[in-house]
Amino acid sequence: MYELNDRNKIIVFTGPDGSGRKSVAEAVGQTFGMEKIVSFVTRSQRPGEVNGQDYHFITHEAYDEMEKQGEFLESVEIDGNHYGIRSLDIESKLNHIDSVYLIMNHEGASILKKIYGDKVIRLFLYTDRRTVEERERALGLPEEVIEKHLSHYDLEMGYRGSCEHAFENYDLGQTTYEITNTLETYLQRDLIDKD
């Protein structure tokens, strides 16, 4: 396991799909100069997704090979596809910046917490089921993807109490503001106007 230094923090955005984790994470990541750890995945690329930015899209064979070589820090199977974080990506980023962020389901969040303890801050984002469904439909996601996401809704919601912080996300600006304030207490960047 890679030894983290005193200043290193791993910020995990979790919660149901469509709750707004990606939108909030990108905004907050930019504010704090945090970089995203991009997961490897075996599912096919969806319209609008960018390889290397949203995910590293790889074949099942390539994933199996990486797994065999012990490259993943965490690796899970969701709806028949594999998702994983490469150890090297966390190590190389935390070598030159203090904090990184990831977007993952409850299993991944739990695994990272077990490995890195206090270094991991889990931020749970949520909205009601109907809002998730409406947002995903408005995004143009295929019906079968929306269905799969909704089938995980209750399980993901059940993880809320395990996370360090939880935020209802209806007003994106407000959520981003609240999370920025929360992270400031960990990252101590003096971003908040104290007047």
Ligand X SMILES: Nc1nc2c(ncn2[C@@H]2O[C@H](COP(=O)(O)O)[C@@H](O)[C@H]2O)c(=O)[nH]1
Ligand Y SMILES: Nc1ncnc2c1ncn2[C@@H]1O[C@H](COP(=O)(O)OP(=O)(O)OP(=O)(O)O)[C@@H](O)[C@H]1O
Q: Which residues bind ligand Y (CB under 6 A)?
A: 17-23, 103, 135, 139, 169-172, 175
DSSP string, 11-55: EEEESSTTSSHHHHHHHHHHHHTPEEPPPEE-SPPPTT--BTTTB
**Per CB under 6 A, 123 contacts ligand X:** no
140-143-144 Cα angle (round to 5): 130
Residues forming beta bridges with residue 170, ordered by sequence position: none
User: Binding segment for ligand X among 62-70, 100-108, 127-135, 164-172 (CB under 6 A)?
Assistant: 100-108
Cβ 110 to ligand Y, closest distance in Å?
17
Residue 135 contact partner, candidates ligand Y, ligand X, none, CB within 5 to 8 A by sort of partner: ligand Y
Contacts of 150 (CB under 8 A, 6+ apart): 129, 132, 133
Q: Which is nearer to ligand Y, 71 or 178 (CB)?
A: 178
**Is residue 4 near ligand X by the rule CB under 6 A?**
no
Q: What phi, psi does 67 have (nearest 5°)? A: -65, -40
Specify the amino acid at residue 48.
Answer: G
From the list 11, 24, 34, 85, which residue makes contact with ligand X (rule: CB under 6 A)?
A: 85
Instruction: Work out whether strand 120-126 and strand 35-36 pair parallel, antiparallel, or are unpaired.
Output: unpaired
| Total binding residues toward ligand X, as defined by CB under 6 A | 14
In the complex, minimum distance from the CB of residue 193 to ligand Y, in angstroms, rounded to a whole number: 23
Kindly tell me which residue out of 29, 32, 66, 84 binds ligand X, with binding defined by CB under 6 A. Answer: 84
Secondary structure of 90-112 in HEC code, one letter for each residue: HHHHHHHCCEEEEECCHHHHHHH
Q: Which does 172 bind (CB under 5 to 8 A by kind): ligand X, ligand Y, none?
A: ligand Y
Cβ within 8 Å of residue 28, ≥6 positions away: 11, 34, 101, 176, 179, 180, 183
User: Is residue 104 at the binding interface for ligand X, with CB under 6 A as the rule?
Assistant: yes
- Binders of ligand X among residues 63 to 82 (CB under 6 A) are 74, 76, 78
Instruction: Check binding of 127 to ligand X (CB under 6 A).
Output: no
Binding site for ligand X (CB under 6 A): 17, 39, 43, 74, 76, 78, 83-85, 103-105, 107-108
